[in-house]
Amino acid sequence: MSLSHSDNLHRMKTCARIREVKYLGERNLLISFEDGLQRELSFHANWQGITEQLNSNDFLALVGIDPVTKTLSWPNGIDLDAEILHGDFNPASGAFFSVVSEEIISSL
C-alpha cells in the first residue's frame, strides 16, 4: 500500500513521544514509544556539563516522562530529545547511548 502525499506529510510532522520508561539496572533503560517502537538503550557514562549527573547510576534510575513533551526527564530538569532516543536523528554532541535491542510491540 502506498502512502499519499498528505499521509507522508502527516508522518513527517509526527514527533516521537514516549509512553513508558523502565530503568533495568546497569545503565539500561527500556523505552516504549507511542508508535509501538520499544528500545532498550544502554547509557554511557560520558555526560558532561549540565547533563553530567546522568553519569551516576542512582540519578539515571530517577528517570521519568515529562507529561507535556513526552520525553525522558529527571528531577533537576534534564530532558532528552525523544526523536534522538527513537532513532530518527543522530545526536549532534556525540554518542551517549547504544541500542541494545529494538522491536515493534504494537501498531497504534
Q: Sort 25 into a burial class: Cβ within 10 Å, 0-12 / 13-18 / 19+.
A: exposed
Q: What pLDDT, in 10s, does the model give residues 18-68? A: 999 999 999 999 999 999 999 999 999 999 999 999 999 999 999 999 999
Q: What pLDDT, in 10s, does the model give residues 56-105? A: 999 999 999 999 999 999 999 999 999 999 999 888 777 899 999 999 98
What is the predicted pLDDT for the residue at 90? 85
Alpha carbon distances (Å) from 106 to 33, 37, 78: 10, 7, 29
pTM, 2 dp = 0.82
The Cα–Cα gap between 31 and 17 comes to: 10
Q: How many CB atoms lie within 10 A of CB 43?
A: 20
Taking every pair of C-alpha atoms in the chain, what is the biggest distance, in angstroms? 47
